[in-house]
Structure 1
Amino acid sequence: MPRMRAPRSRGRRIVVRALWSLGALIVLIVVGTLVWTQVGVMSAEPDPLAQARANPALEIEDAPEGTVLSPADGDSDVGLVFIPGAKVQPEGYVATLQELAAEDGITVVITRPWLNLAFFDPRGLDAFTSAASDVDSWMVGGHSLGGVRACQLAPDADALVLFASYCANDLSDSGVPVLSLSGSEDGLSTPEKIADARDLLPADAELVEIDGASHASFGSYGPQAGDGTPTITDAAVRVQITELVGDLAAAVR
């Protein structure tokens, strides 16, 4: 009789070993993913960040919802929830977005995506707008992968702003006002990729290509692998971003 049970025992051992192997593989994948999300995070360039912090018309707060930029006089009735690109430190966008608050009175909430990747962050728009409960109207936007996530949150917002990004979900019938900013020298969200996704946006979406801007021109975190070479200064790009987003904010007020 014991000999008749041997095949069953061997089968159980094989199943147990297979389950242990599968479990070990899952652990390795999870650990590897966690390590990858923390390696190569692009940090804010120190000089532009220091200049923004010295801006007397700007208030910068490290809040639970993210890094909050607001006008020093406290007068703000429109906000922008901004989602960073993949593995870019949120502070890498403070210098780029500072004048939206300082000049145009827009409260900007730069989020901190879970694991530094927007698609790992399932939080809704209200998780960030709570940083400024007195703001009446909210735009949502993001850079690169952050813009893809912003598209998913757009139905809950008053407007959408894409910074060197494009949508993966269909907003063509949403009625949401859309401003899409891109760079002629972008080597990642290339003009061709943005054009290919144009049909996912409403027909009246405004698409503006900033001549000479690269992918990294939409932040202040240094050059990025795979990107093109900008032929325009970050300061010049910043001026155009401030003007164009400011015009959209005025329209949704």
Structure 2
Amino acid sequence: MNIMQSKKKLILITVLFIILIAAGAFTYYVSDYYHADAKAMAALNSTDTYNVQKTNDFITFTPTANKSTAGIIIYPGAKIQAESYSVIASELAKNGYTTIIVKMPFNLAFFGVNKADDVIKNHPEINSWVIAGHSLGGVFASDYAVNHQDKIKGVVYLAAYPSSNVSNTTFKALSVRGSLDNLTLTEDISGNLDKFPDNTTFITIKGGNHYNFGDYGVQAGDNSSTITREEQQKQTINAIIQFIRNL
């Protein structure tokens, strides 16, 4: 084997080694995520007021009565199990709104930005869609909405803000944040005000934090709330319902 062949072999081995290290690091990163708690898992059971259908891609909560023609799509936060949002989804379904939580590949919305396409296609009975996203899920929910303004009538940012300028879009928006949120800070919202749609309603829940929007335990780096998780979710649900009614 000549020197040139040896160098090529060494380069190939080095590249393969780097790929293996990167793949291992990614696998480790995505395998460490927040799991839904017992309350969230209990909400996955159908009741007299809503039915639950679970697939590999979606968790669908369908009202049993007083169904609205408006539907809600939820994009989970990064590295948070989709089932963690089943309490909020079930409460929205109780109020007549078909609500679908999207299961993201590797629990990262980055890899499933356009999964709302399938949600909309699978529900022709819905003629008005609102897409909501928690934390990083809100960033990608916003990205989806800006590229599908013919389908999305409203965006709900839960402890989130748009990464790109969507101020001139046609959809309305709702921003909900806890006053004690230590992951999406006050300055994150105020510093990006010019990126939000012009017709955005901003709500700050006094005593709320970041992780109370879901049911997955305590999130590292966040502050403890001074209100219960149930109270924060109640205020959030009421705000979303009022927002949809005003679309």
Q: Which residue of 2 aligns with 1:23?
A: 16
Q: Structure 1 residue aligned with 2:229, among 228, 234, 245?
A: 234
Aligned with residue 126 of structure 2, among 120, 128, 135? 135
- Structure 1 distance, partners of 2:27, 2:44, is 31
TM-score when scaled to structure 1? 0.90
Deviations 1:33-80 (A, max 9, x none): 0231012x2111103532563643122110354001121227231111
Which one has a bigger Cα radius of gyration?
Answer: 1
Give the 4+ runs in structure 1 shifted more than 6 A: none
Aligned residue pairs, count: 243
- What secondary structure is seen at the aligned counterpart in 1 of 2:165? coil
Q: Is the 8 A contact 2:62 2:98 kept in 1?
A: yes
Per the normalisation by structure 2, the TM-score is 0.92
Q: Given the alignment, which residue of 92, 95, 109 partners 1:118?
A: 109
Tell me the secondary structure at the aligned position of residue 229 of structure 1. Answer: coil
Aligned-pair distance for 1:250? 1.5
Q: Does the 8 Å CA contact 1:65/1:128 hold for their aligned counterparts?
A: no
Structure 1 unaligned regions, length at least 5: 1-5
Structure 2 unaligned runs (5+)? none
Of 163, 171, 180, which aligns to 2:166?
A: 171
Once the two structures are TM-superposed, the CA of residue 166 in structure 1 deviates from its matched residue by 0.9
Q: Tell me, yes or no, if structure 1 residue 106 matches structure 2 residue 97.
A: yes
Q: Does 1:96 align with 2:88?
A: yes
Task: Tell me, yes or no, if structure 1 residue 45 matches structure 2 residue 37.
Answer: yes
Q: Is the 8 Å Cα contact of residues 161 and 189 (structure 2) preserved in structure 1?
A: yes
Partner of 2:58: 66
Moved more, 118-127 or 130-139: 118-127
Over 3 Å counting, the alpha-carbon distance change for 1:241 and 1:21 in structure 2 is same
Q: Residues 251 and 205 of structure 1: is their aligned pair in 2 closer, same or farther, counting only changes over 3 Å? A: same
Aligned pairs (5 A) from 1:213-232: 213-232=208-227
Counterpart code for 2:121: S
1:83-122 deviation per Cα after TM superposition (whole angstroms, max 9, x unaligned):
001111111111123211102x111110011111111224
Q: 1:48 to 1:34 in 2, by over 3 A?
A: closer
Query: Identity of aligned pairs, percent?
Result: 27
How far apart are 1:126 and its partner, in Å? Answer: 1.4
